[in-house]
C-alpha cells in the first residue's frame, strides 16, 4: 500500500535566497514518497514570483510543487492558514524558509503520527541549532534554550496556556484536523495555537531525536525575548501578548487553569504598573509560572541598564 500523501507547507517572505536554496535541496532529498510542496509568498519586496519559481524549478525535482503569492502582506498566520486551504493531501507538514531538514524528517514524523500508541493529533520533533552561517550551535534545542522541555500525552492544554514547546516547522498532522481549526487567530503564533487546539482534542507526541537543523539569527520571528530591549517592550511583547493569548484560548475551552491564568495576568499588570498590592498579588500567584513571576517581581524593579543587560543575557541563552 502506498504511503499517504503529505503536503509540505512553506511560507516565504523576503527570503535569503541562499538559505532558501539549502532548504529546498533538503526537501528534495526527503526519503518519504508521495510529497507535494505548496509555497505561498507573503508579498515579498526583495524577490519576485519569477525568481522564486526559477529557484523551485532548479531545486525541487523529486516531487511537484505549487507556488502562490499573496497580493498584500498578510503575516505568517494568515499565510499558513491559506496554505492549509491550498493543500488537499492527507497530512500536512509546516515549513519555514531558513532551515535545513534531515532526509528522513517526514518519514520519521509520519511514522510517529501513525504508529504512536498515544494516537496523537499532532506530532513534533527536536532540532539541532545552527547560526546564520550554518555553523553548529547546539545538538538539541534544549541545549540552546535551557528551559525548553518537550511534553507528550493527553491533557496538555493547561500547560500550553503559558508556553509552547513545539516548533511549527517540525509539526505534522492530518490536514482535515488542522483545517477544522481555521481561522488561525492573529493574537497567537500559529504553532502555539494549533498545539493548544490539538491538546484539547487529544494527545501530542514528539521525537526526541533532532529531525532538522534550525537556524537561529536576528531575523527569526519567534524566540526568547524577541524584540525586547526596554521595560516598555517587555510589557508590550510579553505581558500584553499573554493577556490576548489567554483571552483567545478562553474562547475554545472552559478550564480552571484559564481562570487562574487570567488572575495571574492581572497580577502581572498590577506589578508592572506598580499598583498598590501588585507585588504581593504576583508573589502570591508565583506558582502559576515561577520563573516568569520571579523575573518580573525583581527584574522590573532593576535600573534600566541592568534590566537591559539581563534581557541580553537571556536572549543569548546565558540565563
Range from 113-117, 166-170, 217-221 carrying the lowest mean pLDDT = 217-221
**Cβ atoms of 73 and 13 closer than 8 Å:** yes
What global pTM score does this model have?
0.91
pLDDT, residue 2, reads 75
pLDDT, residue 221, reads 42
**Cβ atoms of 215 and 98 closer than 8 Å:** yes
pLDDT, residue 220, reads 45
**Model confidence pLDDT, tens digit, residues 192-232:** 999 999 999 999 999 999 999 999 986 444 456 788 889 99
Polymer length in residues for the chain: 319
Maximum Cα interatomic distance, the chain, rounded to a whole number of Å: 67
Q: What percent of the chain is modeled with pLDDT above 90?
A: 88
**Cβ atoms of 315 and 220 closer than 8 Å:** no
Nearest to 3 by CA among 38, 36, 27, 33: 33
Burial label, 79 (beta-carbon count in 10 A; 0-12, 13-18, 19+): buried
Average pLDDT on 112-127 reads 98
Q: What percent of the chain is modeled with pLDDT above 70?
A: 97
62 contacts: CB under 8 Å, gap ≥ 6? 28, 29, 30, 35
Amino acid at each position: 500500500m502506498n504511503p499517504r500523501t503529505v503536503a509540505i507547507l512553506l511560507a516565504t517572505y523576503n527570503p535569503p535566497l541562499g538559505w532558501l536554496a539549502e532548504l529546498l535541496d533538503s526537501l528534495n532529498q526527503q526519503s518519504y514518497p508521495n510529497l507535494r510542496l505548496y509555497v505561498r509568498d507573503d508579498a515579498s519586496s526583495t524577490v519576485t514570483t519569477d525568481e522564486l519559481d526559477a529557484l523551485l524549478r532548479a531545486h525541487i525535482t523529486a516531487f511537484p510543487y505549487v507556488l502562490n503569492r499573496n497580493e498584500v502582506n498578510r503575516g505568517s498566520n494568515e499565510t499558513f492558514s491559506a496554505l492549509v486551504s491550498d493543500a488537499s493531501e492527507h497530512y500536512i507538514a509546516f515549513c519555514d524558509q531558513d532551515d535545513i531538514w534531515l532526509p528522513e524528517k517526514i518519514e520519521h514524523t509520519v511514522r510517529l503520527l501513525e504508529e504512536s500508541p498515544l494516537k496523537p493529533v499532532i506530532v513534533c520533533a527536536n532540532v539541532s541549532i545552527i547560526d546564520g552561517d550554518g555553523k553548529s550551535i547546539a545538538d538539541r534545542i534544549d541545549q540552546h534554550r535551557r528551559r525548553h522541555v518537550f511534553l507528550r500525552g493527553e491533557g496538555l492544554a493547561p500547560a500550553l496556556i503559558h508556553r509552547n514547546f513545539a516548533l511549527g516547522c517540525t509539526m505534522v498532522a492530518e490536514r482535515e484536523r488542522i483545517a477544522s481549526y481555521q481561522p488561525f487567530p492573529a493574537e497567537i503564533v500559529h504553532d502555539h495555537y494549533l498545539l493548544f487546539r490539538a491538546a484539547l482534542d487529544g494527545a501530542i507526541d514528539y521525537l526526541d531525536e533532532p529531525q532538522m537543523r534550525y537556524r537561529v539569527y536576528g531575523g527569526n520571528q519567534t524566540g526568547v525575548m524577541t524584540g525586547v530591549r526596554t521595560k516598555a517592550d517587555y510589557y508590550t511583547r510579553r505581558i500584553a501578548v499573554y493577556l490576548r493569548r489567554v483571552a483567545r484560548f478562553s474562547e475554545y475551552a472552559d478550564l480552571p487553569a484559564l481562570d487562574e491564568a487570567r488572575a495571574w495576568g492581572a497580577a502581572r499588570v498590577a506589578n508592572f504598573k506598580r499598583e498598590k498590592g501588585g507585588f504581593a498579588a504576583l508573589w502570591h500567584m508565583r506558582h502559576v509560572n515561577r520563573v516568569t513571576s520571579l523575573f518580573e517581581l525583581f527584574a522590573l524593579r532593576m535600573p534600566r541598564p541592568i534590566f537591559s543587560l539581563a534581557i541580553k543575557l537571556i536572549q543569548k541563552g546565558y540565563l
